[in-house]
Structure 1
């Protein structure tokens, strides 16, 4: 009999609070919440640092960008030219840059992939996430305009609807890029799995940073030596003119 009053007393001391309702003007789903920089939501990389990934195609090739501007696929697991920096430039739109080649992946109006030394509008790709974690990358500005058949009626003066067929980054079964207008989002050659860098990849990045730092240090010291030589020659010339 003493248990019932005790339970009533505990319920009064610690009442169950009703769950607060979400404001209709606010996003209750934490996946939809983003701060001013765009971080913390579905596109959590938006506004943040570039993602370093290797784009592994479903045709078993890693996308790689060469310093000479060539684009192809590699079967090697630890190829430095397959390490990419993926940076968001807009919601769902990214730029892909080769870390070692320092060139941007781009697609021209002929559907050909090439590597650009500078960022331009052809370097923007629409990133879409598909099943099993694979992504597709379609050119943001180049596509094929398709005219759809009329929905009904026999009037020839009716305006026909049109749809855009996207051009995708694609690597075929021989490791060669395909023309954009020949690709589809469902093709194996257009599906890429963004792979996180492994230990050997991080070691390659570390060596690259060290070589860049050494090169910059050497250039700075050589520049200082050259300036000292110039000042020394200028002083000698000035002293010679004064003696005459």
Structure 2
């Protein structure tokens, strides 16, 4: 009888002991969690890992932005390759392997790209008058809307500039139906002013071509051979002076 009388007390003591053990376990786990380092969020950056981006813009839903640039040659339907010269000139060449026809195309926004001459170090740009030029610094004038044409070519329209109906200036210009100002190279290898182009014209259709073996060799020599690099730049400067002389 005495044994049975002490049974409830023993059960209570066991339960209390187990409760203490549970609490200590919880404290240990809580301490471990508190010591676990948290990944800091950069200033102005979302802490949601699905939206987090690294310095290059990669990661999460932004994976398509800010990646490595595509090295291409922009072949116009007028049979000219677009060239970006160190002296700021933009034109076309019939030469298949011109160093100034190699460009780096980088996505800066959804459907928007910037194009930089690999050998010239200048960006393709269009000013407010619709003229193409090679800029030594990146700006909004270097941004182009890239679209795929029905014929398989690409079109590149200025992002900041387009024709606005009933402009306050009152200047009447023949513009494309969409009002977009397209990059173009005419049948003589010269760029046309953006507001005079249409997306259906051959001069505004471009095919981004991959580099061939000779192009890759030029790139390799440009980065590894100082004399080769200097000779290319000197040739470009000489041609630029002769053009200005005429």
TM-score range, shorter chain: 0.5 to 0.7
Determine if the alignment matches structure 1 residue 113 to structure 2 residue 132: yes
State the partner residue of 1:179.
Answer: 193
Determine if the alignment matches structure 1 residue 101 to structure 2 residue 120: yes
Counterparts in 2 of 1:129 and 1:119: CA distance versus 1, 3 Å: same
Counterparts in 2 of 1:195 and 1:141: CA distance versus 1, 3 Å: same
Structure with greater Cα Rg: 2
Q: Deviations over 1:68-107 (max 9, x none)?
A: 0100000000000000000000000000000000000000
101, 116, 140: which is aligned to 1:82? 101
Q: How many residues align?
A: 162
Counterparts in 2 of 1:201 and 1:37: CA distance versus 1, 3 Å: farther
- Assess if the C-alpha contact under 8 Å between 2:221 and 2:228 holds in 1: no
TM-score by length of 2: 0.62
Runs of 4+ displaced beyond 3 Å: 212-215
Between the aligned partners of 1:144 and 1:96, the Cα distance in structure 2 is 23
State the partner residue of 1:160.
Answer: none
Query: What is the CA RMSD across the aligned residues, in angstroms?
Result: 2.1
Between the aligned partners of 1:48 and 1:93, the Cα distance in structure 2 is 13
**Greater CA drift, 131-140 or 185-194:** 131-140
Between the aligned partners of 2:205 and 2:214, the Cα distance in structure 1 is 24
- 1:122 aligns to what SS in structure 2? helix
116, 133, 141: which is aligned to 1:122? 141
Structure 2: gaps of 5 or more residues: 1-57, 167-176, 230-246
In the TM superposition, residue 164 of structure 1 has moved relative to its aligned partner by 5.5
TM-score by length of 1: 0.63
Between the aligned partners of 2:122 and 2:228, the Cα distance in structure 1 is 21
Counterparts in 2 of 1:145 and 1:197: CA distance versus 1, 3 Å: same
Counterparts in 2 of 1:214 and 1:168: CA distance versus 1, 3 Å: closer
Structure 1: gaps of 5 or more residues: 1-33, 148-162, 216-244
